[in-house]
Amino acid sequence: MINIKQKLGFTLIELLVVTTIIIILSTIGLVSYRTTGKNARDSKRRADLETVRQALVLYRSDVGTYPSGTYDNITATLNGAGYLSLPIPRDPRYPDRVYSYSGGGATFTLTVTLENDESDYLVYNP
């Protein structure tokens, strides 16, 4: 006689192992997704500052000096003069927060705090 034991369903250990694997994979996916989002927003911030830098260089080559004032003032000046097109570059995560600008005359500095390592990214005049 052959004693065949039928298996109907899963054991508790099997369910725990599968659940643990799903939780681990989900956690890895979420961490990766958040990091990718931060990197993308930081890339946008760098590209925005480079766009404004190029507009400032063109403005100085025509006018002779860099504009002075706040970021909003200089971007409005650059936009009005045709060096920068709308929309004005803004922080992708916090649109109310503007990039930092200091300058006028012969120098300028554009600054933004990056999300990934929370360091400042600076762009100077060439």
Indicate if the pLDDT at residue 120 is higher than 80: yes
Residue with tokens 């192992």: 17
Cβ–Cβ under 8 Å, residues 42 and 91: no
Indicate if the pLDDT at residue 125 is higher than 90: no
Cβ–Cβ under 8 Å, residues 67 and 104: yes
Indicate if the pLDDT at residue 4 is higher than 80: no
Which one has a higher pLDDT value, 103 or 42?
42
Cβ–Cβ under 8 Å, residues 19 and 42: no
Cβ–Cβ under 8 Å, residues 56 and 68: no
Q: What's the pTM?
A: 0.74
Share of the chain above pLDDT 70, in %: 94
E-assigned strand segments in 80-119: 100-104, 107-113
